[in-house]
Amino acid sequence: MGAFVRFCTALAVTKHLCVMSEWFKNGDDGSSVYIMDNDGKKFFDIAREKPEIGNLFNEAMASHSKQKIGDLVTSYPHIFDGLNSLVDVGGGTGTAAKIIADAFPSLRCTVLDLPHVVEKASESNSINVVAGDMFEKIPSADAILLNNVLHDWHGEDCVRILKRCKDAIEPRKDGSKVIVVDIIQDFENNNPKATETGFLFDILMMTSHGTKERTKQEWHDLIIGAGYSGYTIYPTRLGIDCVMELYP
């Protein structure tokens, strides 16, 4: 988790937290603390303009995915039963896709992300790399993975993303699904430290992107609002993230 710690403690990532009081008093235009402190630019704009920040972010997400997706494929292998293809939307440099492809050799994985991100991802016999925008088009597949993507976006954007995912798996064979890995704030875990960490991530999302971590009811509203027929929630051993299996 070294890269994740380096990212979370980097000055470029944390300095906006020092002006929260100004934002609370004057931030009435709907933007986040980060945007206010960076002359109107969003974090992902800065990450694209400054490769050192973008690379640090990609390394952090890769190290985080090693734990989360490693737990997913060992704890819930049935989620991948019958699947021949999967698209990791916002898949960064491909760490999650590689873990899944290694665990299920018959599953063809595709990494979708912005051009400047996937240029550092490697293709192989089991992994394709596609440069694109998830708001415009997602390649067709049996399953779509959204690994800690939706908490970066406001509700209306999340619905747009989920609808794009639904379009990508329909019409498909029986068993097609969208797999969401994200925090559920009020999920029962009997772990006070995990609950505290969830709230800290909520503050991080608020200050960085103007978004939030969501409760079970808020996730329900997003999923059903995007036209899905139902879903199943699974806890993870990490105690923070949950896995949601969404059905078209």
State the alpha helices, DSSP H only, in the chain: 2-9, 11-14, 20-26, 33-37, 43-49, 51-75, 95-103, 115-118, 155-169, 192-209, 216-225
Three-state secondary structure readout of 133-200: CCCCCCCCCCEEEEECCHHHCCHHHHHHHHHHHHHHHCCCCCCCEEEEEEEECCCCCCCHHHHHHHHH
DSSP state of 30: S
Q: Does 116 qualify as catalytic in the annotation? A: no
**Cβ neighbours of 247 (radius 10 Å):** 15
Active-site annotation holder among 16, 64, 78, 151: 151
* Cα–Cα distance, 70 to 58 (Å, whole number): 17
* Cα–Cα distance, 99 to 21 (Å, whole number): 42
Buried b (16+ CB within 10 A) or exposed e, 39-53: eeebbeebbbeeeeb
Residue 117, CB half-sphere, CA atoms under 13 Å: how many?
28
The SS3 of residue 244 is strand
Catalytic residues: 151
